[in-house]
Amino acid sequence: MIAEVIVDIAHSDVDKIFDYVCGENVKAGMRVAVPFGRSTATGFVIRVKETSAYPAEKLRKIYRAEDDVPAINAECLSLAEKISARYRCPMALSLRLFLPAEMRKGQVSKNFREFARLSGELPAIDPRARAQLSCIAYLEEHGETALSELREKFSSAVNALIKKGALTVEKRRMMRVPYKSMEGEEEHHVLTPAQQAAVDTVRTTDRVVSLIHGVTGSGKTEIYLTLIAAALKEGKTAIFLVPEISLTPQMFSKLRARFGAEVAILHSGLSAGEKFDEWERLRLGEAKIAVGARSAVFAPIENIGCIVIDEEHDGSYSSESAPRYNTFDIAYLRAKYNRCKLVLGSATPAVETYRRAERGEFALITLPDRINARPMPKVNIVDMRREVRRGNATPFSSALREKLKACLDGGNQTILFLNRRGYAQTVMCRDCGNVVKCKSCDVALTYHSDEDCLKCHYCGAKYKPLPACPVCGGTHIHYMGTGTQRVVGELKKLFPAARILRMDVDTTSGKEGHYKILKQFADRKADILVGTQMVAKGHDFPFVTLVGILDADMSLHFPDYRSGERTFQLITQVAGRSGRAGAEGEVVLQTYDPENYILRFAADYDYRGFYRHEIGMREAMMYPPFVKVVRVMVTGEDDKETLAALRTVYEKLQKIYAAHEEDFLFFNRMHSPIKRIRDKFRYQVLMRMTENAPLREVYAAAEEKFKNVLVYVEENPSNLS
Ligand code: ADP
Ligand code: ZN
């Protein structure tokens, strides 16, 4: 037999199929070790065939198969081909998406354990062999027992019994189970009529994709779980994607409670062994539901009955390394292949998604009300300019302080959100205006009070705080802006008795870092939770009745066409944490721009209003979804080399532009907004183009290889920095 093999080397020079002679045991989708040049390489078998077009004497033999069961199933093999064609990347790169990284690198091992039980017929045992007799008695009472445990109890008697054939030993694979501690209680709700109608629409519509636009707390999760349960009942499998599983442990315990071992979780926070075992449970069909962040869309399952993308608007669904795929596109291909439904859910759908639903491409399901008709929390917009005029220099308006006090007095909980971790956001010299920046990045440093250091939030570098300005020697160093640490400090001064938790990148390291904080808060061991975006994600804390948004305009002024949309989403999501059960909730939204229409729409929970305004503006200004923003990034450590590469790529692109000028609305090369990150200079060619523009040619132009410079293409990038 002949195997068509892609070697696992991500380079365009070897991105082709090589034929090898193989045995009957080799199947498509298996990883194999093959001779490659003068060394050995790992490869993926793409196809197995009878004959090769190459002369037999030129063909080399496969050394061995690395898997007994194909690692990649037929659907995923064809998907990998489509991804390579679509994003113009070597096949090796797209195939890698389908395997846990550690498995490729050979860093994982299967975990085995031996068990002993009594054999059918017992030989006669010398009555003086006490230990052997009690071992038999033990097994008669307890049944099968781990061999190691028996050895501990009965030492050498165990081996004697094995020798006599009295015990049968069996080696069995043990799967490592992540988050054992996270078992939840099963709660099974009877669907409300609105939830039932949503389930029915998804199942009966002739559209592949349904968008559930449901306000926060409208019970979307229960809809997903019902659809997943229905798929399982039909003997099928399911994929459930969430932005960041580690941020939503509640979701995970809900799934565990309802589906038990049929759920497998795939995410980067697991240990290599856990990840591998969860992946294997899916591949072997032991688990049927793949839950995880975007990479779980590549789960090794067959016969998919339902795919769910929760919080579909979330930026984490676009990949930031090659191939730069969009999770929706992959999920859509899988849904088509498996003839199953793809469900998107959000309280704040992406403008692009909503437009497709509005135009009838997707089924649109609207849930305008919370479960049990709970009211949406009232949003109070507070003008911070007035606070400043009144001499209030703290991060809290007087309205927020009053409401905080009332909330604490009432025994309820508060969430305070701000988009900046650390203590102060910039360190500036008052004498010359110099802002202290990272040596490797073109980014201002943030002061962290608990470690008494300056940190770069892009590369993680730490610096000693400066006694004097490095430029002018001045000593009037000013710490500007407010971060989570400073907020906690100020809160402690205002409310010494309050118990406060902080949740941001600095406090959530470790596998269960988020979980620990969220659990403490859920168990009401704290009164106030202060945090960054992390506190906005789908949490359901019934005793939170006050949410404070400390700097609502922070994200409004990013140089990005999506900044309005982002702000709307963030405010709606954070506000949605308030008043989800019990007492009515409230929100205080602090801003220096109280008339801003985005904030107004968010405060009124007027998604449609926001959408109409936003889509009108996008159309007038020609931004997505009316055009595509394409960015070709050119980055390298040497500024001159990088610039030279930019020039080469730009010239190629310019030819495309010249030939299709009518399809481009914008075309220019420039510095990226952040000129340097992690010692790499960053340049870009930014384009806005219509559907007719030759995107494939743009990819081809960016395929140019330079020695020390990286070039890549981004489509509608979720981050334009
Ligand atoms: P969303 O994901 O839309 O923000 P959730 O799914 O978290 O909303 O649901 C909000 C709350 O309503 C949760 O506490 C959930 O347990 C509860 N809930 C959901 N469905 C029902 C139902 N049919 N009956 C009663 N309570 C429900
Ligand atoms: Zn840095």
| Digit-coded pLDDT (tens) for 605-639 | 999 999 999 999 999 989 999 999 999 999 999 99
Extract the tokens encoding 264: 């497998």
Same fold, 2-102 and 375-421+483-618: no
Alpha carbon of 192 to ligand 1 centroid (Å): 10
Using a 6 Å cutoff on CB, does residue 189 contact ligand 1?
yes
Model pTM above 0.75:
yes
Using a 6 Å cutoff on CB, does residue 217 contact ligand 1?
yes
Alpha carbon of 388 to ligand 2 centroid (Å): 32
Using a 6 Å cutoff on CB, does residue 81 contact ligand 1?
no
Helices 147-154 and 156-164: crossing angle in degrees, nearest 10, is 120
| Digit-coded pLDDT (tens) for 501-510 | 999 888 887 7
Cβ pair 522, 540 in contact under 8 A:
no
| DSSP assignment string, 11-46 | -GGG-S-EEEE--TT--TT-EEEEEETTEEEEEEEE
Q: Residue 644 is which amino acid?
A: A
Extract the tokens encoding 720: 């334009």
Cβ pair 75, 337 in contact under 8 A:
yes
* Confidence tier at 559 by pLDDT (50, 70, 90): low
Using a 6 Å cutoff on CB, does residue 419 contact ligand 1?
no
Q: In what order do the strands lie in the sheet with 709-715?
A: 664-677, 680-689, 628-636, 709-715
Taking 80 as the threshold, does the pLDDT of residue 265 lie above it?
yes
Alpha carbon of 282 to ligand 1 centroid (Å): 28
Alpha carbon of 462 to ligand 2 centroid (Å): 8
Report which bound ligand comes closest to the CA of 677: 2
Alpha carbon of 679 to ligand 2 centroid (Å): 8
pLDDT at 669: 92
How much of the chain exceeds pLDDT 70, in percent?
97
**What is the spatial distance between Cα 124 and Cα 132, in angstroms, rounded to a whole number?**
11
Cβ pair 46, 4 in contact under 8 A:
yes
Using a 6 Å cutoff on CB, does residue 672 contact ligand 1?
no
CB < 8 Å & 24+ apart, contacts of 606-615: 607/213, 607/347, 607/348, 607/349, 607/572, 610/568, 611/351, 611/354, 614/351, 614/564, 614/565, 614/568, 615/351, 615/355
Residue in 600, 591, 603, 594 with CA at minimum distance from that of residue 397 = 591
**Candidates 212, 222, 543: which one to mutate for ligand 1, based on the most atoms within 8 Å of Cβ?**
222
Count of positions (residues) in the chain: 721
Q: Per-residue pLDDT averaged across 4-24, rounded?
A: 91
| Digit-coded pLDDT (tens) for 214-249 | 998 899 999 999 999 999 999 999 999 998 766 667
Sequence-distant (≥ 6) Cβ neighbours of residue 409 within 8 angstroms: none
Q: What are the structural domain ranges in the chain?
A: 2-102, 112-173, 193-362, 375-421+483-618, 422-482, 628-715
Report which bound ligand comes closest to the CA of 538: 1
Residue nearest to atom 9 of ligand 1 (CA): 219
Cβ pair 177, 273 in contact under 8 A:
no
Sequence-distant (≥ 6) Cβ neighbours of residue 71 within 8 angstroms: 29, 30, 31, 44, 98, 99, 103, 283, 300
| Digit-coded pLDDT (tens) for 429-442 | 888 888 888 999 88
CATH of segment(s) 375-421+483-618 = 3.40.50.300
Q: What is the largest CA-CA distance in the chain?
A: 98
pLDDT at 393: 85
Beta bridge partners of 479: 427
Number of the ligand 1 atom closest to the C-alpha atom of 367: 3
Q: Residue 473 is which amino acid?
A: G
Number of the ligand 1 atom closest to the C-alpha atom of 220: 3
Using a 6 Å cutoff on CB, does residue 539 contact ligand 1?
no
Using a 6 Å cutoff on CB, does residue 219 contact ligand 1?
yes
**What is the spatial distance between Cα 698 and Cα 609, in angstroms, rounded to a whole number?**
36
Overall CATH class of domain 112-173: mainly alpha
**Candidates 188, 215, 221, 227: which one to mutate for ligand 1, based on the most atoms within 8 Å of Cβ?**
221
**What is the spatial distance between Cα 53 and Cα 75, in angstroms, rounded to a whole number?**
26
Tell me the CATH number of domain 193-362, given options 1.10.10.60, 3.40.190.10, 3.40.50.300, 3.40.50.2000: 3.40.50.300
| DSSP assignment string, 255-266 | HHHHHGGGEEEE
Q: For the stretch 399-432, what's the b/e string if a residue is b when 16 or more beta carbons lie within 10 angstroms of its beta carbon? A: bbbebbeebbeeebbbbbbbbbbbbbbbbbbebe
Overall CATH class of domain 628-715: alpha beta
Using a 6 Å cutoff on CB, does residue 370 contact ligand 1?
no
Domain 2-102 is of which CATH architecture? 3-Layer(aba) Sandwich (3.40)
Alpha carbon of 82 to ligand 2 centroid (Å): 37
Number of the ligand 1 atom closest to the C-alpha atom of 221: 6
Beta bridge partners of 240: 291, 308
